[in-house]
Amino acid sequence: MKDLMGMMKAASEMKGKMDALQAELAEMTVEGRSGGGLVTVALSGKGEMKGVKIDPSLFREDDVEVLEDLIVAAFNDAKAKAEATMQEKMGELTSGLPLPPGMKFPF
């Protein structure tokens, strides 16, 4: 019975830590770049786009497709960085849990 109470307490503490981590990730801003820094996209930790910066040298009518590709690339770069940061922080949070191999948290 004592072990069950300990597990319940640990689960409650983990929930509090998860809530704090999710709040921290929501406030985080990650920047992705492409074209050698000519295009920058800022995303929140939840993947919401917060801003786009485009170097004025890219505003040429014949380079519209290149600009579109650079925006997509910068967005994908920012998203990958946000996901990597989230995985790192989740790994730190769940490092002491006896989870089976391959099981991800949260479920």
Top pLDDT among 66 and 105 is at 66
pLDDT of residue 64: 82
Q: Which domains are seen in the chain, by residue range? A: 28-88 (3.30.1310.10)
Nearest C-alpha neighbor of 67 from the set 45, 79, 52, 78: 52
The predicted structure's pLDDT at residue 24: 83
**Using one digit for the tens of pLDDT, what is the confidence trace for 9-64?**
777 787 888 888 888 877 888 899 999 999 999 988 878 888 899 998 888 878 78
CA dist 94 → 13, 18, 28, 91, 103 (Å): 12, 10, 20, 5, 11
Query: Which tokens go with 94?
Result: 């769940």
User: What is the per-residue pLDDT across 63-103, written as a single tens digit (0 to 9) for each?
Assistant: 788 888 999 999 999 989 888 888 888 777 777 665 556 65
The model scores a pTM over 0.85: no
Assess contact for 48 and 93: CB atoms under 8 A: no
